[in-house]
Amino acid sequence: MTKYDPEEDADVTKIQAAYSSEKEWVMDPKGFFTIRPFPKEKLIRVRYYNVVEGGYKKELLIEGKTAEEIIQTIVRDKLASSLQHVGYLGQELMKAEVAMELNLDFVQDSPLDYERQAEE
């Protein structure tokens, strides 16, 4: 294992990471996604909802086996317009993939509970 050497970064500016979803979250004008793993099928299904006048409309169902292939599809097809949204989706998709692999319950926007197994 590599040990961290602070001298390696002595000449660069350090930024302390911070984020408040209550203060900084902004809805992506292109729409939103719901994410759900299906462990028996070894698939993650993502529904894309487009924002329309008076609400939203379900437009697409994206299916994939990994977080990477789904997020790359979303980026390639330009379904998200903000870096913040793409970062969030990558995080949630990776949680869904881990939950599926470990047979854990997955709830979007909530931390993984490593004690709670998914229902069969």
pLDDT (0 to 100) of residue 105: 93
pLDDT-derived band at 34 (thresholds 50, 70, 90) equals very high
Decide: pTM greater than 0.75: yes
pLDDT exceeds cutoff 80 at 23: yes
Q: Which of 99, 82, 101, 100 is nearest to 33 (CA)?
A: 82
Residue 59 lies in a domain: yes
| Residue 70 structural domain | 26-102
The Cα-based distances of 105 to 12, 14, 71, 109, 113 in angstroms read 41, 37, 21, 12, 7
Residue 46 lies in a domain: yes
Q: Which of 40, 57, 55 is nearest to 120 (CA)?
A: 40
- State the total domains in the chain: 1
Point out which residues pair with 68 in neighbouring strands. Answer: none
Residue 49 lies in a domain: yes
Residue 81 lies in a domain: yes
Tokens describing residue 20: 């408040």
